[in-house]
Amino acid sequence: MSASIQQPQGRPVADEVLSDTDSTASDHLDLTNDEEWQDVEPDVESQPMVGLFSADVYPDVRSMLKASKEKYNFDLRKVIKELDLDFLGSIKLVNYIRSEVKAGNTKPDVSSRTLFEDDIYMKPVLEDDALLYSLEDLDDEPENAVEGKQSETDKERNAEKRVLELQEELERLRGQFSDYRLAVQRSMNERLLEDEGPSSSSTSEREVGKAADRIQEADSDYFTSYAYNAIHESMLKDAVRTDSYRDFIYENKHLFKDKVVLDVGCGTGILSMFCAKAGAKMVIAVDNSNIIEKARQIIYDNGFGDVIKCLRGKIEEVVLPVPQVDIIVSEWMGYCLLFEAMFDSVIWARDRYLAPDGLMVPSHATLRIAPLADPDFIASHISFWHDVYGFNMSSMLEGIHDEVLVRTTNPSTVAADSAVFLDLPLHTITTEELTFVKDFQVTLKEDIDALDGWVIWFDIFFMRSCTSKLPENAIPVQLKKEGFVAFTTGPDGPETHWQQGVLLINRGEKEPVPLKKGQVIKGKVGYRKKEEKSRLLDIEIQWDAEGAEKGDQKWSLQ
């Protein structure tokens, strides 16, 4: 999820990973005695599957589908085909059936797709429902196959068919996943903003419990959204992001040689494999999404099964096989840097597991802000609704200024050089410092007819030592010229999957004021979670352009 002087060579990370506990370390690192290493053995088509109409657990999707046909006269493939359901429609169908069965109806009506079109059926009825992760493969399941008896010819035919369809399928799933994740995030937001009524001392415990339940449900949705291929494809294809991690690891193999590395939120395992290839002695890859199962197989297929250990769960809850690690690598960055609150978990892992002289990869981040003057965007995104084919659709503007838009901004619309409003030294920053109000100041570099909004982005830096200091107002492109690894997610750099956060100003009936080149705009930027432990983010900006233009507005990132 994320977005990196020739400096004196930093002190090498300590080789004595476990200091004076060598005998204990040997026990931990004796891979021949670690039964959990069997996890990386290939386990083709053997993921346990809960039945559609019962609590029975079947060894794989084929067995479950067969039982549904024989015991309950229900053919899931046939229904999906007859209703011409796409991937999202199939998800809704499964959740609709499970919700009906849960309510006591073992013969749900599936005669029309209109019965389960509501987005409520995007939310899994079963936590970690393995069937939802198998829907994209149903077309490849031979209907009359006997368990374990598929012929070599059939396998070759299916493989050839899959290769021919792969590109089309990936593009389709990318679009479908975007819709799915949007629906999940909308559902998260609705629950988190649910009106619970006035609090009182007599109901405080119940209210706290309800809030905790909402957070837990939202957290589950968050990890579910990372179980699908499309989001990982998007991140892996972000060359700015992935190349930066690869370049730093491969160009500094001496830092990784014989070290123990922790990969927090490993996803497909790409960063773990970079570290293993660079010579790490042991890499612990942790993820709480079902993607960890695919990561295990990927790691095994690429020959790193004896180096990389995959653990399923939250980093705060899993038990690592070692008491401390030399390096923590993680791609934790969200939109406007802190959306999704994954960095909280990385900080927890740092404080719990990182050796005193250990290395954070990346090591530093900065948040930047700049004023936006983009009349074309305002015309197409805002003014458009006032006259649509001669009709007034202004009601569509309700709430349109309340949310942070994730967009790619044209550099020509950025009306001033950006200002850093927060430095994040990853080795020392605390979670408390991620809720803040910071000052900023920018100077307009051109005349503008109106201040239309603000643009926020972040820069990422990879320094070689935990004691390395980031130069003041560091610019990634300048550091890269000096041999360091860094990247920007700003308008002036190559596009990344994070793009930029665009915060449009809501003027109501108030007309904008033209501003002149050289005018100074001073202000404050505040970041705050929607509520405690929420992954959603509120951003507030106050600004004053020498009295000519003032404002104070809050936006939500959800």
| pLDDT for position 227 | 45
340 is catalytic: yes
**From the candidates 143, 165, 168, 340, which is the catalytic residue?**
340
| pLDDT for position 57 | 86
**From the candidates 293, 331, 531, 549, which is the catalytic residue?**
331
Q: In the structure encoding, which two tokens stand for residue 288, read together?
A: 């709480």
Cβ(313)–Cβ(324) under 8 Å? no
Q: What pLDDT, in 10s, does the model give residues 457-491?
A: 999 999 999 999 999 889 999 999 999 999 999 99
331 is catalytic: yes
Q: In the structure encoding, which two tokens stand for residue 109, read together?
A: 């009506």
Short-list 264, 185, 181, CA closest to 217: 185
| C-alpha span between 177 and 170 (Å, rounded) | 10
| pLDDT for position 450 | 94
- Which residue intervals of 324-431 are DSSP H helices? 342-353, 375-381
Full-prediction pTM beyond 0.75? Answer: no
Q: What pLDDT, in 10s, does the model give residues 89-109?
A: 889 999 999 998 988 888 899
| pLDDT for position 12 | 37
| C-alpha span between 228 and 224 (Å, rounded) | 8
| pLDDT for position 29 | 41
The CA–CA distances, whole Å, from 224 to 68, 124, 132, 217 equal 25, 9, 10, 11
**Grouped pLDDT means (10 residues each) for the chain, 558 residues:** 38 36 40 42 60 88 88 90 87 91 88 86 84 73 45 62 59 52 52 45 49 49 48 77 95 97 94 97 94 92 96 93 97 88 91 97 97 93 90 90 92 97 96 95 96 96 95 91 94 93 88 94 93 80 93 90
| pLDDT for position 113 | 86
| pLDDT for position 202 | 46
Domains within the chain, CATH numbers bracketed: 22-42+233-361 (3.40.50.150), 49-132+134-145+152-171 (no CATH), 364-557 (2.70.160.11)
**Would you list the DSSP string of 186-230?**
HHHHHHHT-------TTTHHHHHHHHHHHHHHHHHHHHHHTSSHH
| C-alpha span between 405 and 391 (Å, rounded) | 25
